């Protein structure tokens, strides 16, 4: 336990509780959308299972918060979608699947991998292993969906939206300066990646996983690369 | 699993998953009859993201 960083660690797990409960709502809706679009039953099933997984993950977050004598926030009840509403139905569905699975879940896997490497506490390690096992499937769902969707619609419409998806995934906080304790390496022992490392992991995962993934589907990643480069250039100032 | 392996595990794993669940494009059965495509595939009640500042990632 890292007592000095306790409040910050609890704050991060509380945010994760909201991330998980919100994702559960979105995966349920995405699964129904896939079913209506005629997607393979396996993908619909994966989305449905992902929705249930996220509820279980939120329960783990709540357990960790209670173990730290921290308050468990209410579950997210808003079904949040991030794409423009004037997209065609299959485009809108594709936008949301890509934002959720290809970007957010793929990026979350990178964080989990980092945390697993650093975990020393047996309970935390067990939780992280369970989450990582599930999140692999949640991320794969997005890439599998794209492989199906590429034969049904022109995926090039996604290109101008990719930076907005990357921004939505990070929220407003990641590329803002944080308090000094947010960079404390000891946070890793509480299941939290120090903020300066999170920024670099986020950009490295964009470069090495997300962007090459989109390029597998011949989606232009120029704007996303430019966004990532701009963020990379802000790092020295944020870390000084 | 290290970061450099994630492309293989997630991206290639995902595309492989589709191939494994049915043919080259994995398409499921088409909707019965000549049903027109639905007007919407996602609920209209989705709350706009304005005001939401939280992350979607861990």
A174 touches chain B (CB under 8 A): yes
Please name the residue of chain B whose CA is at the shortest distance from the CA of residue A209.
Answer: B7
pLDDT tens profile A46-97? 999 999 999 999 999 999 999 999 999 999 998 989 899 899 999 999 999 9
Determine the pLDDT at residue A85.
87
Q: Quick check: A111 and B9 CB within 8 A? A: no
Q: How far apart are CA B9 and CA B6, in angstroms?
A: 5
Interface of A with B in 9-68 (CB under 8 A): 15-16, 18-19, 22-23, 29-30, 33-34, 36-43
Q: Please give the torsion angle defined by the CA atoms of residues A199, A202, A206 and A210, in that order, rounded to the nearest 10 degrees.
A: -170
More confident position, A49 or B53: A49
ipTM computed for the complex = 0.92
Interface of B with A in 15-44 (CB under 8 A): 15, 17-19, 21-22, 25-31, 37-43
Choose the mutation target among A15, A24, A25, A42 for the interface with B, i.e. most B CBs under 10 Å: A42
Chain A residues lying within 8 Å of B17, measured CB to CB: 42, 140, 144
Interface of A with B in 60-99 (CB under 8 A): 78-82, 89-90, 92-93, 96, 99
pLDDT at residue B21 above 80? Answer: no
A104, A206 contact by CB (below 8 A): no
| Beta-ladder partners of B47 | A80
Please name the residue of chain A whose CA is at the shortest distance from the CA of residue B27.
Answer: A40
pLDDT tens profile A109-136? 999 999 999 999 999 999 999 999 999 9
Q: How far apart are CA A78 and CA B14, in angstroms?
A: 28
Q: In this structure, what token pair is assigned to residue A139?
A: 């991320």
If DSSP states are collapsed to H, E and C, what string results for A49-94? HHHHHHHHHHHHHHHHHHHCCCCCCCCCCCCECCCCCCCCHHHHHH
């Amino acid at each position: 336990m890292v007592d000095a960083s306790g409040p910050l660690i609890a704050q991060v797990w509380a945010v994760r509780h909201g991330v998980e409960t919100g994702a559960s709502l979105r995966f349920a809706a995405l699964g129904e959308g896939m079913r209506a679009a005629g997607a393979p039953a396996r993908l619909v099933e994966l989305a449905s299972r992902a929705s249930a997984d996220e509820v279980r993950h939120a329960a783990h977050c709540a357990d960790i918060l209670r173990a730290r004598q921290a308050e468990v926030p209410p579950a997210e009840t808003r079904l949040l979608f991030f794409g423009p509403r004037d997209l065609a139905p299959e485009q809108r569905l594709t936008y949301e699947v890509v934002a959720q699975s290809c970007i957010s879940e793929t990026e979350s896997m990178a964080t989990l991998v980092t945390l697993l490497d650093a975990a020393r506490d047996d309970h935390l390690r067990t939780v992280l292993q369970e989450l990582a096992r599930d999140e692999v499937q949640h991320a794969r769902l997005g890439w599998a969906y794209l492989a199906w969707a590429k034969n049904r619609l022109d995926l090039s419409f996604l290109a101008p939206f990719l930076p907005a998806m990357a921004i939505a995934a990070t929220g407003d906080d990641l590329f803002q300066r944080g308090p000094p304790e947010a960079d404390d390496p000891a946070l890793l022992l509480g299941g939290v990646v120090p903020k300066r490392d999170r920024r670099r992991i986020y950009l490295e995962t964009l470069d090495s996983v997300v962007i090459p993934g989109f390029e597998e589907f011949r989606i232009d990643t120029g704007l996303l690369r430019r966004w990532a480069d701009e963020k990379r250039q802000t790092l020295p100032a944020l870390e000084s | 699993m290290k970061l450099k392996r994630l492309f293989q595990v997630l991206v290639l794993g995902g595309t492989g998953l589709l191939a494994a669940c049915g043919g080259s494009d994995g398409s499921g059965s088409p909707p019965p009859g000549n049903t027109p495509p639905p007007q919407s595939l996602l609920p209209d009640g989705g709350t706009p993201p304005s005001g939401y500042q939280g992350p979607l990632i861990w």
